[in-house]
Amino acid sequence: MMAHDHSHAHGHRTRALSLALAANGAFLVVEVVGAYVFNSLALFADAAHMLTDVAALTIAMVAQRLSERPNTARHTYGLQRAEVIGAQVNALLLLGATAWIVFEAVHRLGHPEHVSGVGLTAVACAGVVVNVGSAIVIGRQAGESLNMQGAFLHMALDAAGSAASAIVGVAIIFANATRLDPIASLAIAALVVWSAFALLRETTRVLMEAAPRGLDPRAIEAFIAEDPAVEDVHHVHVWNLASDVPALSAHVVIGGEVSLHQAQIEGNRIRTKVHDRFGIEHTTFELECHDCEIND
């Protein structure tokens, strides 16, 4: 992705996050009031998750804006990893909200309480509309960004939670199945925990500079080594500057007796080939001649 396209994508992501934040902030108030009035733990659970959504979207938007800042002398790659840190914080928020949901649900399983099925169903259906709409808006701009994927995950899980709450509301209306309210909460909690750990795993991979998914360092090394001008390749490192910004560094030995100028021309040509084949924007080659000593 070229620099202009990348900044264009950042702008779309910020607008998508702003829209989702406004919609979820407004509905949070509605859901909290509904949960209190209709005495529904499922709605309280979904409201707690919605609160983390509002916090998560705020964090995601701040992280997105930080990642858009230009490079400086202190931060030579800019603040691109802010979006990864934001995604990791969001995952931890999900886990914290889940702990409260599980505690309250276990209590209500032993002590069922009256729940208004009609009220629960009405509020939950409205939640499905808000969350599905927000998920669609964010999902269209997510790409490979873990920050956007984290925000999308919050929206998608809330949509699932609202749908489960609506089903419980219908069951209470027709069968007075009040125990389904805490059971649905536990099911939502299990889904949240699974998704949060998956997000934590991906963000940790980026922060630990693991090779990006879909990019095999050995395949990249072999691709470079196949070039007719290359005698040897070593010290190949592939990592992510941000969740969707891969980077590569390698020592490339240029064969034959070449001048520094010729070596630079070959290096630029190979760099372009790597970009076209693997989509790596940030590539750094240390060019060496055939008789240079390689120090491991």
Each domain of the chain, given as residue ranges in start order, spans 3-207, 217-289
Q: What is the pLDDT of residues 173-220, one digit of tens each?
A: 888 877 787 887 788 778 778 877 877 888 888 888 888 888 899 999
Q: Is the pLDDT of residue 274 over 90?
A: yes
CA angle 13, 16, 20 (to 5 degrees): 140
Gap between the Cα atoms of 54 and 30, Å rounded: 14
CA 288 to chain centre: 39
Domain 3-207 has CATH 1.10.600.10: no
The span from the CA of 92 to the CA of 74, in Å, is: 29
- Look at the domain 217-289 and name its fold: Alpha-Beta Plaits (3.30.70)
CA distance 236 to 220: 8
Q: What are phi and psi of 80, to 5 degrees?
A: -65, -30
* The predicted structure's pLDDT at residue 9: 57
For residue 242, list its beta bridge partners: 245
Judged by DSSP in three states, 58 sits in helix
Q: Sorting pLDDT into bands at 50, 70 and 90, what band is 296?
A: very low
Task: Report the SS3 class of residue 64.
Answer: helix
State the pLDDT confidence band at 3, using cuts at 50, 70 and 90: very low
Residue with tokens 């914290």: 96
pLDDT of residue 4: 44
CB-based burial label for 180 (10 Å; 0-12, 13-18, 19+): buried
Question: Alpha-carbon distance 80 to 65, whole Å?
Answer: 9
- pLDDT tens, residue by residue, 84-128: 787 788 788 778 878 877 887 887 787 776 777 787 788 888 888
Residue 36: both structure tokens together: 């209190």
Encoded tokens for 281: 């924007």
Residue 76: Cβ within 10 Å count: 7
